[in-house]
């Protein structure tokens, strides 16, 4: 090709040679420009990542059996697990699928339905929304963010802790009676420095039974009637929480305080005929609680205590009244790593005195429970929990006026994570 071009150039006239030289210069320049452009195109940054590239689907399912060595079939716990007691058998406690993703740098979404909800006492396994919220970050590192939608109300460490991570099979009565299913619809402001957000994530990823990232400081407003229930008055509940995790040598400690206030409306469907109530069914509902956590490295302590006021049935007056409430729990645990498996034995003591606003007639309670158990993690996808419970419970409403039950039972749960 080069020789052919040279011969053509040699036999041309001077003018033709000059024209041909110009043409060749243009062609070579064009070729060089094309090669340079090709090189540049290969060095360009890859295509911008789409939001659906970070879309995640995960979930877990829990199967339970509560009747082994049961001493009293009349002992049950509506708030805890409805398969306690008489006629209880194998029970799907939770079947959840979680959809989440970072839509862009400052917008995150989280949607979690549960397909093991109980629509009534004689119907099981209905789909029901648990979480549906968006986090809107308002700074470069999302240290300041606003959560909008149905999500967990920031009150209590164990309430925030996922059932997928918690050691005892059920949350404690005292703090969990504040918010049934731990959730409501509202807007919550969260703040946490970048390094604390990373610490919250590591506590989950390292299997230390963290509560998740609900900020160092939280403040928000929510309906107050609990998840999947319509608002029944024109007054929002207000909640605030401050919690601070920190490292001391090889240990990680977290301490916190939280409080909320509002007016709760007793739903008419939850009232027995003849029970006396306020004219508008509105009742003062306010609490404060303290939290202490020593993460299991390898020995762990988790303790919380709450005080407050709320609606409670009084059998002496046949009325629902605002009364004091109090209670708490302490859980001790030890994390042992056995090759690639993990064993976490634990014990927990809990008690509660007060009403449960979301149950029939704001049912009155005295709870005194002791539990001992162990969680065995065969791998990241399968866990087995044995939980032996000794319980004394007084739970009374307008119909069940003198109802004190005591008993013991061995509970088993198999959990699959996917």
Both 137 and 19 in a single domain? no
pTM, full prediction: 0.86
Q: What is the mean pLDDT of the chain?
A: 90
Both 158 and 196 in a single domain? yes
Both 35 and 170 in a single domain? no
- 35 pLDDT higher than 50: no
Q: Indicate the number of domains in the chain.
A: 2
C-alpha 62, offset from chain centre: 16
Both 10 and 142 in a single domain? no
pLDDT digits (tens, 9 = 90+) for 219-240: 999 999 999 999 999 999 999 9
Both 196 and 299 in a single domain? yes
Both 21 and 64 in a single domain? no
Both 132 and 37 in a single domain? no
DSSP 174-243: HHHTTSGGGEEEEEEEEE--HHHHHHHHHHHHTTS-------SEEEEEE-SS-TT----SS--EEEEEEE
Where does the pLDDT of residue 1 fall: very low under 50, low under 70, confident under 90, or very high at 90 and above? very low
Both 12 and 51 in a single domain? no
**Mean pLDDT for the stretch of residues 296-321:** 98
**pLDDT for the residue 117:** 87
**Mean pLDDT for the stretch of residues 24-32:** 39
Both 34 and 68 in a single domain? no
**pLDDT for the residue 121:** 62
Determine the angle formed by the axes of helices 2-10 and 14-42, rounding to 10 degrees.
150
Strand partners, 365: 354, 395
**CATH number for 318:** 2.40.160.10
**pLDDT for the residue 62:** 98
Both 30 and 129 in a single domain? no
Both 162 and 306 in a single domain? yes
C-alpha 8, offset from chain centre: 80
Tell me which residue range forms the domain holding 34. Answer: 2-41
**Mean pLDDT for the stretch of residues 77-94:** 91
Using CA of residue 249, residue 250, residue 252, residue 253, what is the dihedral sign? Answer: negative
pLDDT above 70: percentage of residues in the chain: 88
Lowest mean pLDDT segment, chosen from 22-26, 129-133, 150-154, 407-411: 22-26
Both 291 and 344 in a single domain? yes
Where does the pLDDT of residue 22 fall: very low under 50, low under 70, confident under 90, or very high at 90 and above? very low
């Amino acid at each position: 090709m080069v020789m052919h071009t040279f011969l053509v150039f040699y036999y041309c006239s001077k003018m033709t040679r000059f024209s041909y030289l110009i043409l060749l210069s243009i062609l070579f320049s064009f070729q060089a420009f094309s090669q340079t452009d090709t090189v540049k195109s290969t060095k360009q940054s890859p295509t911008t990542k789409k939001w659906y590239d970070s879309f995640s689907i995960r979930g877990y399912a829990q199967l339970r059996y509560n009747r082994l060595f049961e001493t009293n079939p009349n002992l049950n716990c509506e708030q805890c697990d409805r398969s306690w007691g008489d006629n209880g058998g194998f029970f799907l406690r939770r079947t959840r699928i979680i959809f989440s993703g970072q839509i862009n740098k400052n917008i995150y979404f989280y949607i979690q339905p549960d397909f093991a909800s109980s629509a009534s006492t004689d119907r099981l396994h209905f789909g029901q929304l648990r979480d549906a919220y968006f986090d809107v970050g308002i700074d470069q590192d999302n240290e300041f963010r606003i959560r909008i939608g149905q999500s967990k109300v920031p009150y209590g460490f164990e309430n925030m802790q996922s059932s997928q991570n918690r050691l005892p099979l059920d949350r404690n009565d005292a703090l969990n009676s504040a918010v049934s299913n731990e959730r409501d619809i509202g807007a919550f402001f969260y703040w946490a420095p970048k390094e604390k957000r990373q610490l919250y994530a590591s506590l989950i990823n390292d299997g230390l039974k963290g509560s998740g990232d609900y900020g160092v400081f939280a403040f928000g407003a929510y309906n107050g009637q609990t998840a999947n229930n319509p608002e029944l008055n024109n007054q929002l509940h207000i909640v605030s929480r401050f919690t601070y995790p920190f490292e001391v040598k090889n240990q990680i400690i977290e301490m916190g305080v939280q409080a909320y206030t509002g007016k709760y409306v007793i739903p008419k469907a939850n009232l027995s005929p003849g029970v006396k109530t306020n004219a508008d069914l509105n009742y003062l509902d306010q609490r404060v609680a303290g939290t202490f956590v020593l993460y299991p490295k390898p020995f762990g302590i988790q303790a919380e205590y709450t005080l407050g006021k709320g609606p409670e049935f009084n059998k002496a007056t046949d009325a629902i009244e605002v009364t004091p409430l109090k209670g708490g729990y302490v859980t001790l645990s030890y994390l042992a790593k056995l090759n690639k498996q993990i064993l976490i034995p634990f014990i927990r003591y809990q008690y509660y005195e007060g009403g449960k606003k979301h149950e029939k007639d704001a049912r009155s309670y005295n709870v005194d429970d002791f539990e001992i158990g162990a969680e065995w993690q065969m791998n990241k996808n399968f866990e087995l929990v044995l939980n032996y419970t000794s319980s004394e419970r007084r739970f009374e409403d307008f119909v069940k006026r003198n109802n004190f039950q005591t008993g013991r039972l061995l509970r088993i749960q198999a959990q699959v994570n996917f």
